[in-house]
Structure 1
Amino acid sequence: MRAQLVIGNKTYSSWSLRPWLAARHAGIDFEEVPVRLGTAEGAARIAELSPSGKVPVWREGGLVVWESLAICERLAELAPTLWPADSRARAVARAVSTEMHAGFPAIRSTLCMNARASGRRVTLTPEVEAEIARIEAIWGDCRARFGVDGPWLFGPFSIADAMFAPFAFRFPPYGISRPGVVDDYLATLRADVHVRAWADAAAREPDVIEAFECGR
């Protein structure tokens, strides 16, 4: 039976983007199962498919895996190149991926992921500015130490890039720009064929969820 990835709206669901992008880059075949967030129909579908009541969910035969990073780890078991080959690089990639998974609450609440938005304006609090600075430091360190063999954080695409991919739709809509590593890495993300495909699909979605329309 073909594996399934249950995902939310591509406009808004940063958590869904991460394993979707990892699977696409790894060439892992799966059926995309979209659910409409913020609707009664979507809530019922998620309750049916997800033990946690959230998206994304990976369904592979009798195996059900939830949480984006856990799904990415499962994908890496199917496609080991999703983590860097070098053990030291791999350790750092796991560290920054976990930090992204667990942290940056000010960015999450202020700079909502929105794959359709542009020209939004929000107030950048000191907490948001500090988290942006931390993102810049992570990207700069990874690129400087491990990124010589390609345009991604660790050279070739890895799960770390999947975890940070939503910034392609978190920074530009709000005019967040930092010359150097931030703008360069955002350009890499936004030029990626799979990220572009995600954005194109988001542009065709009809739903508007006001809670995720930051800066309007």
Structure 2
Amino acid sequence: MPKLVIANKVYSSWSLRPWLLMKQLGVPFDEVVIPLDLPDTKARILEYSPAGKMPVLIDGDVTAWESIAIMEHVADAFGAAVWPQDRKARAMARSVAAEMHSGFQHLRSACPMNLGKKYSTRDRGTGVAADVARFSEIVRQARERFGAAGPFLFGAFSAADAMFAPLATRLDTYSIALDANTRAYVDAVLSLPAFREWREAALREAWVVDHDEVDEEPIETFRNVA
């Protein structure tokens, strides 16, 4: 059985992506969690990952790191429906997944993923607003062109949705105002059985990573840690 090595579930956006995809598509795997910012974190990661980063998937004599590479291996090795079947939809899905991989820097920087807290609505800057507007445009275009068969970007759940799942959590955590179409999509992602499983496990974690905790008073706290 393949082994997926991930970081803390409360904070780790990159780890969530392949974990969510594999869980939601029913691809079995063993899970190894390596907490971040501990004295032995780097050494433990290097036991599995040649890049010294997580997530990493070990499948027999194959090692795949970086989220999109892991997802492509899942498609190749297990025949999972990682991407849409329609050629045009698949091209767009790969494009927006790659855009997510390298983009949305303002939102990612100002609003780090944190499933343990919720913050009030506030002005988070023009960069964040631009990122949110771009995300909403992606949702609108994908749903209008290819989303008739289901609630996700291309109808059925795919790697594109897994790539955007951490962004969806940020929009919820930081109470960012959304149009009805984008809000419905975010709710669909957060309602996935696999995501609910991830979040429930995240809220049981005791580790706190200071650099992923914003200097702002939350309006709700969902786990009891120092």
Task: With the length of structure 1 as denominator, give the TM-score of the two structures.
Answer: 0.96
- Distance in 1 (CA, whole Å) between partners of 2:37 and 2:164 is 24
Structure 1 window deviating more from structure 2 (71-80 vs 117-126): it is 117-126
Once residues 120 and 110 of structure 2 are traced to their aligned partners in structure 1, the CA distance between those partners, rounded to angstroms, is 11
What 5-or-longer segments of structure 2 have no aligned partner?
217-226
Structure 1 counterpart of 2:58, one-letter code: R
Aligned-pair CA distance for 1:80? 4.0
Amino acid at match of 1:187: D
Q: Which residue of 2 aligns with 1:214?
A: 214
Give the number of equivalent residue pairs: 215
Separation of aligned partners in 2, 1:13 and 1:175: 19
The answer as to 2:77 corresponding to 1:94 is no
Displacement of 1:138: 0.4
Alpha-carbon distance in 2 for matches of 1:170, 1:89: 26
After superposition, residues 1-216 of structure 1 pair within 5 angstroms as 2-77=1-76, 78-120=78-120, 123-216=123-216
How far, CA to CA, are the matches of 2:122 and 2:8 in structure 1? 23
Q: Distance in 2 between matches of 1:172 and 1:85?
A: 30
CA RMSD of aligned residues (A): 1.3
- Secondary structure at the residue paired with 1:40? coil
Question: Per the alignment, in what secondary structure is the counterpart of residue 170 of structure 1?
Answer: helix
Deviations 1:124-149 (Å, cap 9, x if unpaired)?
11111111100000011101100000
Contact 2:27 2:80 in 1 (8 A): no
The residue identity in structure 2 corresponding to 1:130 is A
Query: In the alignment, is the contact (CA less than 8 A) between 2:121 and 2:176 conserved in 1?
Result: no
Please give the per-residue CA displacement for 1:172-203, whole angstroms capped at 9, x wherever unaligned. 11111213121101110111111111110010
Higher helix share: 1
Structure 1 segments of 4 or more deviating over 3 A?
Answer: 120-123
Shift of the alpha carbon at 1:121? 6.2
CA deviation after TM superposition for structure 1 residue 82, in Å: 1.4
What is the alpha-carbon distance in structure 2 between the residues aligned to residue 74 and residue 168 of structure 1? 24
Give the residue type in structure 2 aligned to 1:6.
Answer: V
1:16–1:55 Cα contact (<8 Å) kept? yes
**AA at the equivalent of 2:23:** R
TM-score by length of 2: 0.92
Maintained 8 Å contact 2:113/2:212: yes
